[in-house]
């Protein structure tokens, strides 16, 4: 086991000895900080001050009345309105003042950057095996008293460690940037959400963290996919290209085959686990349990193929 940790340490050492890894970290940091600054300088909505004192009660009551009258007329988007109505009522009943745009809104908006991390992780996952072949170092790496399976596992673990590092960086940097630019008032505000027609309360920290993790499912699957292509074809360009193409076109693929019986078995129909917690699934008869099982099957398939090709094939020149 200690042996395995040494291998992961090796992979991390090689990763951070390359300039490209640092460039990726910097790109992410620039995106988050730059986005914050643009919002701060330009954005209208972030300027909104939270109403002082008890004014928020009147504002919410006014909003509710307006929504109710809209609903009587039959206009507006019904489910959305009902939700707002219930949430507002909950705030009034429990004395929870809404906050203006603060650090948590910024953190939530930065969730879109998870797709940037997917992109970067795909690049890392695609290179980690293929580059050893490109550099020729695979020969010296494999003539050690360590099984190929263990080396493969160390490389995969290293990719996951990298993805986790990037996600943590994004999260922490969003909080820091958000706090610096938009203030930390209401830092401990609860997050309200609808579940089974009832308004529920959750700590905002828990909510945002779990949202980030749910958004990483796609990242995780595509990184594993890129890792597999890299192990099978020993070519990083191919792995990066195919994985990014699939990542970008995933939703269109699902939409295209939507009416087919087997559409729900497509990987991309199942990667968005957020759909089970907030909103409706793309394909009606999907459930969380089903999606997780499908994902598990794909994961085993990807890792199995990687393992098969990495451990069984001869190491020859190119």
Binding residues for another protein, rule: CB under 8 A, are: 3, 6-7, 9-10, 13-14, 17-19, 135-137, 139-147, 312, 314-317
Cβ 190 to another protein shortest distance, Å: 47
CB of 19 or CB of 41, closer to another protein = 19
Cβ 145 to another protein shortest distance, Å: 4
Cβ 28 to another protein shortest distance, Å: 21
How far are the Cα atoms of 225, 246, 273 from residue 263, in angstroms, in the given order? Answer: 19, 16, 16
CB of 11 or CB of 263, closer to another protein = 11
CB of 144 or CB of 260, closer to another protein = 144
CB of 285 or CB of 314, closer to another protein = 314
**Do residues 253 and 266 touch, judged by C-beta distance below 8 A?**
yes
The dihedral built from the CA positions of residue 279, 281, 284 and 290, taken in this order, carries a sign that is: negative
Cβ 128 to another protein shortest distance, Å: 13
Cβ 187 to another protein shortest distance, Å: 42
- List b or e across 168-196, with b for residues whose CB sees 16 or more CB atoms inside 10 angstroms: eebbebbbebbbebbeeebeeebbbebee
Cβ 277 to another protein shortest distance, Å: 42
114, with CB counted inside 10 A (0-12, 13-18, 19+), is buried
Tokens of 68: 């109710």
Cβ 162 to another protein shortest distance, Å: 16
Coil/strand/helix, residue 300: helix
CB of 230 or CB of 271, closer to another protein = 230
CB of 15 or CB of 125, closer to another protein = 15
Query: DSSP letters of 172-222?
Result: HHHHHHHHHHH--TTTTPEEEEEETTEEEEEEHHHHHHHHHHHHHHHHHHH
Long-range pairs for 12-18: beta carbons < 8 A, 24 or more residues apart = 12/158, 12/161, 12/162, 15/124, 15/128, 15/158, 15/162
Q: How far is the C-alpha of 274 from the C-alpha of 264, rounded, in Å?
A: 16
CB of 142 or CB of 244, closer to another protein = 142
CB of 142 or CB of 153, closer to another protein = 142
Coil/strand/helix, residue 129: helix
Cβ 191 to another protein shortest distance, Å: 44
């Amino acid at each position: 086991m200690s042996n395995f940790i040494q291998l992961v340490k090796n992979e991390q050492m090689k990763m951070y000895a390359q300039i490209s890894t640092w460039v990726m970290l910097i790109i992410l940091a620039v995106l988050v900080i730059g986005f914050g600054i643009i919002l701060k300088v330009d954005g209208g909505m972030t300027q909104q001050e939270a109403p002082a004192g008890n004014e928020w009660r009147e504002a919410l009551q006014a909003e509710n009345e307006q929504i109710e009258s809209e609903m009587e007329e039959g206009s507006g988007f019904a489910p959305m309105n009902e939700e707002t109505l219930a949430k507002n009522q909950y705030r009034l009943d429990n004395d929870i003042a809404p906050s203006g745009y603060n650090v948590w809104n910024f953190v939530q908006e930065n969730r879109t950057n998870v797709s940037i991390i997917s992109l970067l992780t795909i690049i890392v996952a695609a290179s980690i095996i293929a580059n050893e072949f490109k550099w020729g170092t695979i020969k010296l790496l494999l003539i050690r008293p360590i099984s190929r399976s263990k080396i493969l596992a160390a490389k995969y673990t290293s990719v996951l460690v990298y993805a986790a590092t990037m996600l943590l960086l994004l999260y922490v940097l969003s909080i820091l940037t958000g706090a610096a630019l938009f203030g930390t008032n209401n830092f401990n505000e609860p997050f309200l959400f609808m579940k089974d027609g009832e308004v529920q309360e959750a700590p905002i920290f828990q909510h945002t963290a779990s949202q980030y993790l749910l958004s990483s499912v796609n990242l995780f699957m595509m990184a594993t996919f890129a890792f597999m292509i890299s192990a099978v074809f020993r070519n990083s360009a191919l792995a990066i290209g195919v994985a990014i193409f699939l990542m970008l076109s995933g939703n269109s693929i699902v939409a295209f085959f939507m009416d087919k019986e087997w559409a729900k078995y497509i990987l991309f129909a199942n990667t968005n686990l957020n759909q089970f917690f907030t909103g409706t699934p793309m394909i009606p008869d999907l459930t969380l349990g089903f999606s997780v099982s499908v994902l598990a099957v794909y994961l085993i398939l990807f890792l199995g193929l990687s393992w098969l090709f990495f451990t069984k094939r001869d190491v020859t020149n190119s």
